[in-house]
Structure formats: structure tokens, C-alpha cells
């Protein structure tokens, strides 16, 4: 029996109207540029097919792997789909041609396979340039050669360019400006480009160039490192909820959790809630994370276990078994949980969305 999803208490509600709101807001911020909705990793745990169907007016979608794109096409998604990781072998290139996918090419083997193919049938590709991320992309001194080789692929369709911003979440960093200038220095303005990611859309207007792509911001998490100062009217899309399993009364000095990690500082009322790291909630905690019960924020105390965590509910007058608990959503925000756990919202959303039962709101 599957120990995840419908067989456990923890669940997530996913508001598709919030997805549409966030896409519209980011589209407006991007001006006249096309907005690519990034739905890799099952839409960051939100459900790629459901999110794509909720965004039928999206300009394009992006995924990481060819298999993700096939699933979207088979579900009836018609828009342009970028495959950010490109293709690994000839069979995947054939699939991109068959399903009319836009692979991102970033190394010589991609060029070799394109040049050796008998009929690319107008396949459109995105050439990724490494402007400083140091991950995927052609080196700057090879770009002229890449363009020359692509020019010899007679059956190739439109060629576009892209790069990835490494530090756009930090408005104080000069590195993003350096990357933008690197692109300008290539003098390839006659091509369409995709430069800005979520933080590039919000914080760097100079990175808006024909195409932009939204990932984490589309799911309602502010991507900026100074998000308290960089306010954006994003709506949280995922809310994680569960139930109370037990309510216990402890005396001052009582120990709670594995390794006796928490000592009651006074007589306390502690609720045991049905969620843990098996549901994707982060185990690591450097600061006091909170949950919401009956509209009030309550501190998590002790260690997060596989299926349970303990919460100080001393301030609540009434709390009972089976009462609802909100682990994150509008409050606390997923970014708050990430801060308390020394991680990022991306990881939490992907993990929780992959484990918990999903309920979709506002499908129409």
C-alpha cells in the first residue's frame, strides 16, 4: 500500500486561480515580452498537467526533460514547450521533432546530432549561452562557431538564444548586470532571447528581452533575497494542511521528542500533529517554525519526526483532536518555513507536492 498521498492525513490544496493571477501579474511586469511558464518537476509539486490546463492562454511552457514534455502533449497541451535540459541521445531528438518540442542545446553533441539528421522538419531550438552561471551553455568564445554550424542545418527551423541569471535575486549584486552586458556584447540582437527568470522579471527590467520565464514566482513565492523590501502582489498557490492527533499536558521540565531535544520551560499544552518529513516537510530546523491553528500561529517544538511534529498550543483556549492545522500557505508562508530550515521554497514545494494528497481549487 502506498504510504503517501490519499492514505495520510497531510494534504495540500492548490488554488489554480492564484496561478492565473500570478501569471497575469508577471506577464504585466514583463511588458510586451512573451512569458514562459516553467512547469518542470511536476510544476514544482503543484501538478504539471493541472497547471498547464489552468493556463491555456500561456505563451509557452518549459520543462526539464523530454519525458515531461511528452506527458503534456499527450494531455492535450498545444503551446510551445521548451525542454531546458535538451536531449541526451538521438531518440530524444526524434521525439522533439515528432512532438514539436523546442529543445535547448548547450553542447557540441547537440550540434553534431542536428547536423547529422536527415530531416529536422523545421525543429525550433534554443541555444544556451553560459554568461556566468557555470552550469549549462556554450562558452562565449564558441558562439560564432555554434551559429556557423547551425547555419548548415538546412531543415532546422527558428533559432533563439537564452542564458540563465545566477544572482538575480540579489539586487545589490553587480553580477546580474555583468551577465546582461555579456549578452549585449555578443551583438546578437537580431535573435529572440530568453534571459530573465522569476527574479529577473521582478528586479531586472534590462533582462526583459523578447521572452522571459517564470518559475517559483508563478507559484506565489517571492524569489527576491530582500523580499520584505521587494513587495510583489503574488498569491500563494499551495496550502499544506493536516490534523491534530493528540493534545497532551506537560509540566515544566518535561522532555519532548527524539534526543530529548526540547525541554518545557513551563507547564505547557502540546499538540501532536499528523505531518512530518515523510510528507515532505523539512526535518532540519535552525529556528522556531510555526503552524496556524484556529487562526493563531503556534511554535513547533522538538524535532520534526517522520509522521508527526509537536506544537505549543498553550495560548489556545480550545484545541481538540482532529482540528485542522495549516503548515504553510498565506500564513505562515512557505518562504518562512524555508528560512527556518536553511533551505528554499522550491525544495519544500517540490517535496510536499510530491508526497501529500492534492486538492485543486478553482479549476474553471
Residues classed as catalytic: 40, 258
Instruction: Indicate the length of the chain as a whole number.
Output: 364
Residue 159: closest CA among 126, 136, 184: 126
CA 255 to chain centre: 37
As a whole number of Å, the CA-based R_g of the chain is 23
Which string of DSSP letters, residue by residue, matches 220-273? Answer: T----TTTTTS-------EEEEEEEEEEEEE-TT-EESGGG-EE-SSSEEEEEE
Question: What kind and span of H or E run contains 357?
Answer: strand 357-361
- If DSSP codes are grouped into helix, strand and coil, which group holds residue 31? coil
Q: How far apart (Å, rounded) are the C-alpha atoms in residues 41 and 349?
A: 10
CB atoms within 10 A of CB 151: 10
Please say whether the beta carbons of 291 and 325 come within 8 A: yes
Amino acid at each position: 500500500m502506498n504510504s503517501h498521498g490519499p492514505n495520510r492525513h497531510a494534504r495540500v490544496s492548490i488554488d489554480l486561480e492564484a496561478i492565473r493571477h500570478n501569471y497575469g501579474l508577471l506577464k504585466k511586469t514583463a511588458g510586451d515580452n512573451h512569458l514562459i511558464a516553467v512547469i518542470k518537476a511536476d510544476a514544482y509539486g503543484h501538478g504539471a498537467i493541472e497547471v498547464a490546463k489552468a493556463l491555456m492562454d500561456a505563451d509557452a511552457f518549459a520543462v526539464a526533460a523530454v519525458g515531461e514534455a511528452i506527458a503534456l502533449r499527450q494531455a492535450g497541451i498545444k503551446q510551445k514547450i521548451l525542454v531546458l535540459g535538451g536531449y541526451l541521445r538521438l531518440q530524444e531528438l526524434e521525439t522533439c521533432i515528432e512532438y514539436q518540442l523546442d529543445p535547448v542545446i548547450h553542447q557540441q553533441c547537440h550540434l553534431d546530432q542536428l547536423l547529422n539528421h536527415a530531416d529536422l522538419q523545421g525543429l525550433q531550438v534554443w541555444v544556451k549561452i553560459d554568461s556566468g552561471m557555470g552550469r549549462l551553455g556554450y562558452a562565449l568564445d564558441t558562439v560564432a562557431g555554434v551559429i556557423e554550424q547551425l547555419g548548415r542545418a538546412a531543415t532546422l527551423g527558428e533559432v533563439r538564444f537564452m542564458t540563465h541569471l545566477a544572482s538575480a535575486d540579489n539586487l545589490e549584486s553587480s553580477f546580474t548586470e555583468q551577465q546582461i552586458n555579456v549578452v549585449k556584447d555578443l551583438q546578437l540582437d537580431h535573435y529572440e532571447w530568453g534571459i530573465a527568470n522569476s527574479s529577473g522579471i521582478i528586479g531586472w527590467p534590462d533582462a526583459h528581452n523578447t521572452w522571459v520565464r517564470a518559475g517559483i514566482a508563478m507559484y506565489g513565492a517571492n524569489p527576491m533575497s530582500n523580499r520584505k523590501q521587494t513587495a510583489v502582489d503574488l498569491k500563494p498557490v499551495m496550502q499544506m494542511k493536516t490534523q491534530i492527533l493528540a493534545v497532551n499536558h506537560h509540566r515544566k521540565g518535561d522532555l519532548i521528542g527524539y534526543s530529548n531535544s526540547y525541554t518545557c520551560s513551563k507547564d505547557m499544552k502540546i499538540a501532536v500533529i499528523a505531518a512530518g518529513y515523510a510528507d515532505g516537510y523539512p526535518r532540519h530546523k535552525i529556528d522556531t517554525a510555526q503552524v496556524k491553528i484556529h487562526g493563531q500561529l503556534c511554535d513547533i517544538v522538538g524535532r520534526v519526526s517522520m509522521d508527526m511534529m509537536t506544537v505549543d498550543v498553550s495560548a489556545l483556549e480550545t484545541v481538540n483532536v482532529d482540528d485542522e492545522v495549516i503548515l504553510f500557505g498565506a500564513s505562515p508562508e512557505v518562504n518562512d518555513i524555508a528560512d527556518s530550515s536553511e533551505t528554499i521554497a522550491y525544495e519544500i514545494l517540490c517535496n510536499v507536492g510530491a508526497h501529500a494528497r492534492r486538492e485543486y481549487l478553482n479549476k474553471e
